Amino acid sequence: MLTALSALLRKYANGWLALILLVGVIFFNTVAFSNQQSNLAADSGGARPLDLLYAYTPQTAYALIASYGEAGRAEYRRFELTIDLIYPIVYTLFFSLAATWLFQRGFSSDSAMQTYNIIPLGAWLFDLFENLGIAAMLSIHPLTPAWLAWAAAAATSLKWLFVFASGSLLLIGLAAALKNGFKAQT
């Protein structure tokens, strides 16, 4: 299944589509997330969203959730279950298609590097688990089950691991494509 998915990405990868998705990523980061963070900070006295932490304990998670206040928790939950379900799709497609396009110009078509274009899917999967975990914690407040916070925290850390790996793949692909003058490899 992953091999077929990698091949599908190679079939549809092109620079223009990756560029459009990059514009989408920039839009989410500069407009949607800055508005959400401003609203949350106003409701909580400056507390950060859990999504932006690389790791956290149940104590940290539930202290932040309590600090958001009722309005902040409701807004954050709505955000997690709407906009923050769309954003991971956009950034995953950007990372996957941009890496694929760069790999097609940096590595031969039979290189194992061509199959690494699916790594960003891990970021999407764990971001989805993270969002569901955070939404659940926000929904059941003031209950504080440690297992739920640990599961959400693990998803958060794994999401960031895959995001950093995806960014590294882009840098590797860019370096290889530059070396080959951005010419498609056979």
User: Tens digits of per-residue pLDDT, 152-163?
Assistant: 999 999 999 999
Which residue would you say has higher pLDDT here, 41 or 25?
25
pLDDT in tens, 70-116: 999 999 999 999 999 999 999 999 999 999 999 999 999 999 999 99
Q: What is the CA radius of gyration of the chain?
A: 19
Torsion angles phi and psi, residue 121, rounded to 5: -65, -25
Residue 155 CA to residue 57 CA, distance in Å, equals 12
pLDDT(42) > 90: no
Whether pLDDT at 119 is above 90 = yes
**Residue 180: phi, psi to the nearest 5?**
-100, 10
> Residue 10 pLDDT more than 90?
yes
Region label for 55, one of left (φ > 0), alpha (ψ between -120 and 50) or beta (otherwise): beta
Query: Domain locations in the chain?
Result: 2-179
Q: How confident is the model at residue 178 (pLDDT cuts 50, 70, 90)?
A: very high
- In terms of pLDDT, which residue wins out, 33 or 140? 140
Which residues have C-beta within 8 Å of that of residue 37, sequence separation ≥ 6? 48, 49
Within 8 A by CB and 6+ apart from 70, the residues are: none
pLDDT of residue 41: 81
